[in-house]
Amino acid sequence: MKPSVLISILSLLVLTDYACSLNILGIFPYQGKSHFIVFRVYLRELAKRGHNVTVISHFPEQDPPANYHDISLAGSTKPIEDEGPFQTSYLILLAVSWFLAHSGVQNCDTMLANDRVQSLIKEKPKFDVIVVEQFNSDCALGVAHKFDAPVVGIMSHILMPYHYQRLGIPYNPAYVPFHFLEGGTKPTLYQRVERTIFDFYFRTLYKYYTQRSNQNSLAKYFDDIPPLDDLARDMKFLLLYHNFVLTGSRLFPSNVIEVGGFHVIDAKPLTGDLKKFVDEAEHGVIYISFGSVVKATTMPADKVQDVLNVMKQLPQRFIWKWEDKTLLVDKNKLYTKNWLPQVDILAHPKTLAFLSHAGNGGTTEAIHYGVPMVAMPIVGDQPANAAAVEESGLGVTLQVRDLNQENLLNAFKKVLDPKFRERVKEVSKAWHDRPISPMDTAVYWTEFAAKHPNFTFRTAAADVPFYQYINLDVAAVLITIFILNIVALRIAINKCRSKKKVTTKTEKKKAKRA
């Protein structure tokens, strides 16, 4: 091949790559490590595919690719890790609600006060699409507005209570799981009442405290930010981190895209003493982890003892993510460490079951590798995830309040049953059987939003006033018509009665004269 032809081909390839390359901004002001673990895989994939990616977050890359640029918020707020208590109650739920509300305000103020964020806004580089986390704050939407680019929302969990209305998604406590509560798609009457109260509470707290504070914080820096509710409805798409195989069918509009599963990376072989422990496990291993938010060492001593007693009754070995060295047990039976390669453990053929808090990340990894779960939810979206685990056939649910030796042993025996494990493998197979991989789906719709910025894809339900959405005006008209008919009927009846009385009196008078 002639050098001139080769140069022409290479130039064409470079120009084609440049033409397809997008300038993407990611805004992730929340300091939750478990959330960003999911987003990081997606953001790096965008960079890997040739896009220029700029990321505002608390978790800068240690060795970023050349086209991945961090605007770091690290050090301004302590990351959320190993801080959740090992207990459940209404008081804990209220504490969580106030944490979310306050951190949503704090995250906004921290981001807006960052010099590099302000410099970026003043320089106003052209972005083709902006990806923002949808969680505890809408402040990122206000910042995104300054760049006049299409916005794509992304989540690492199921919908929050205040996200349904902005996206036009119907919420009915009779069959739609509530983020923070038990019951799944089959709640009891008590749970429906509970959901109705807490749904109103969370939405009210978010609207009148978090969102209003975010709006005021943005107003201190900019005088042209529209109402955040309007900006939320203007998002082109929401990349929602679940899939119907696990969470069941939902009534989502076309601009809400299920992408659950893209963060699960390829497993690596186990190494060192962990590999030796697993390889020598004649009857397989059971893995225990309560994630990066809940600290296992805060588990009450009596419940820890219950878990240890159950271990003695089963032939399997156990691997437990445990944050200190106080757990003194037979090292041939239990392997503990404060950090473990979770994906590598779940992918190992000798891993037979997974006792988990039902965090969305770990649950996704379990269904990816077909590992049966004993889901023991504690906080956040874990109660809804645990219900999905049981309803989908991925595992069983055991509430913290019910954790004792007998119940845990029964739960393990159930998920270790060969027929149950075979069913879980079928669920996992269905999870993987998609026309497009979750990562390709997430990237495709991100690129789609950039290519078609002038189109609005939201459902009309997102714009309908609430009184119309629930047909209050129609009900008022029908009730009015009904009442008017009743009144008209009564008037007609009264007139008939009056006429009859007059006729009767006249006849009586005639009879007397006669």
φ, ψ (nearest 5 deg) of residue 229: -60, -40
Task: State the pLDDT at residue 509.
Answer: 61
From CA 281, how far away is CA 277, in angstroms rounded?
A: 6
Task: State the pLDDT at residue 475.
Answer: 94
From CA 9, how far away is CA 355, in angstroms rounded?
A: 55
Which strands, in side-by-side order, build the sheet including 151-154? 68-72, 52-57, 23-27, 129-133, 151-154, 237-240, 256-258
Residue 9 banded pLDDT, cuts 50, 70, 90: very low
Cβ within 8 Å of residue 184, ≥6 positions away: 177, 384, 387, 388, 390, 391
Residue 48 has pLDDT above 80, yes or no: yes
Contacts 24+ apart (CB under 8 A), 412-418: 412/286, 412/310, 412/314, 412/353, 412/355, 412/374, 415/353, 415/372, 415/373, 415/374, 416/314, 416/316, 416/352, 416/353, 416/372
Task: State the pLDDT at residue 76.
Answer: 85
Is residue 101 within 8 A of residue 206, CB to CB? The reply is yes
From CA 29, how far away is CA 131, in angstroms rounded?
A: 12
Residue 14 has pLDDT above 90, yes or no: no
Q: How does the average pLDDT of the chain come out, rounded?
A: 90
148 burial type by CB count under 10 A (0-12 exposed, 13-18 middle, 19+ buried): exposed
Is residue 299 within 8 A of residue 86, CB to CB? The reply is yes
Task: State the pLDDT at residue 286.
Answer: 96
Sign of CA dihedral 420, 424, 429, 434: positive
3-state secondary structure of 161: helix
pLDDT in tens, 73-127: 998 888 776 566 677 889 999 999 999 999 999 999 999 999 999 999 999 999 9
φ, ψ (nearest 5 deg) of residue 437: -65, 155
pLDDT in tens, 304-358: 899 999 999 999 999 999 877 766 677 888 999 888 999 999 999 999 999 999 9
Task: State the pLDDT at residue 298.
Answer: 79
The CA-atom distances, in angstroms, between 214 and each of 28, 131, 147, 150, 163 are 15, 18, 18, 20, 16
Is residue 271 within 8 A of residue 345, CB to CB? The reply is no
Task: State the pLDDT at residue 79.
Answer: 76
Least confident of 78-82, 251-255, 404-408, 496-500: 78-82
Question: In this structure, which amino acid lies at residue 250?
Answer: R
From CA 48, how far away is CA 67, in angstroms rounded?
A: 8
* Residues 31-52, mean pLDDT to the nearest whole number: 95
Residue 277 banded pLDDT, cuts 50, 70, 90: very high
From CA 438, how far away is CA 344, in angstroms rounded?
A: 20
Closest CA to 455 of 235, 276, 268, 285: 235
SS3 content of the chain, % helix, strand, coil (to 5): 50, 10, 35
Element (H, E) at 133: strand 129-133
Q: Categorise residue 56: left if φ over 0, alpha if ψ from -120 to 50, beta otherwise.
A: beta
| Alpha carbon 490 to chain centroid, angstroms | 56
pLDDT in tens, 443-462: 999 999 999 998 888 888 88
Least confident of 22-36, 110-124, 464-478: 464-478
Residue 7 has pLDDT above 70, yes or no: no
pLDDT in tens, 378-396: 988 999 999 999 999 999 9
Higher per-residue pLDDT: 11 or 81: 81
Q: What is the CA radius of gyration of the chain?
A: 29
pLDDT in tens, 217-233: 999 999 999 999 999 99
Least confident of 190-194, 217-221, 268-272, 292-296: 292-296
Task: State the pLDDT at residue 8.
Answer: 43
Share of the chain above pLDDT 70, in %: 92
